[in-house]
Structure formats: structure tokens, C-alpha cells
């Protein structure tokens, strides 16, 4: 008897080192992996989350631009 195996999306969790120069490259990699079908969770500190929002304007982290979870 055959069985149907459902393939789940692979899940990647990004926890960048919280210093300047580490977050943006990891965000780019997360976007690329998401385009390849990965489920992405991105962990960030509150401080760096606020900096990221300020640097990109009020729509920097809209779900339409980042189609994955952000945790802080």
C-alpha cells in the first residue's frame, strides 16, 4: 500500500548578532530563502527592531515587504 507523504515547508530561524552590519545581510538571506519556499522566523532585539523601522521609514517592515515572521 502506498502512503501519501506531505512535504512541509522547511523552517529557518534567523538570530543575527545584534551589531551593525549583521542584520541587513541576514534579512536579505531570509528574503531569498522565503522566495525558495522556506518558512522564516526572524528574531531581533527591541532596540534593533526600532532602528530598523526608523531607517526604512514607517513601511519598512510591512507584511507585503517581509512575508515572514519577525520576533523581538
Q: What is the pTM of this model?
A: 0.65
pLDDT in tens, 4-47: 555 688 999 998 887 778 888 888 898 899 889 998 888 888 88
How many angstroms separate the Cα of 28 from the Cα of each of 15, 22, 33, 38, 50? 13, 11, 9, 13, 18
Task: Give the start-end residues of each E strand in 7-56.
Answer: 11-14, 39-43
Confirm if 67 and 37 have CB atoms less than 8 A apart: no
Nearest to 55 by CA among 15, 24, 13: 24
Nearest to 30 by CA among 12, 50, 44, 17: 12
Amino acid at each position: 500500500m502506498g502512503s501519501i507523504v506531505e512535504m512541509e515547508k522547511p523552517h529557518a530561524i534567523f538570530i543575527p548578532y545584534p551589531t551593525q552590519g549583521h542584520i541587513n545581510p541576514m534579512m536579505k538571506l531570509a528574503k531569498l530563502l522565503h522566495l525558495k519556499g522556506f518558512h522564516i522566523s526572524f528574531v531581533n532585539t527591541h532596540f534593533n527592531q526600532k532602528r530598523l523601522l526608523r531607517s526604512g521609514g514607517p513601511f519598512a517592515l510591512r507584511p507585503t515587504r517581509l512575508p515572514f515572521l519577525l520576533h523581538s
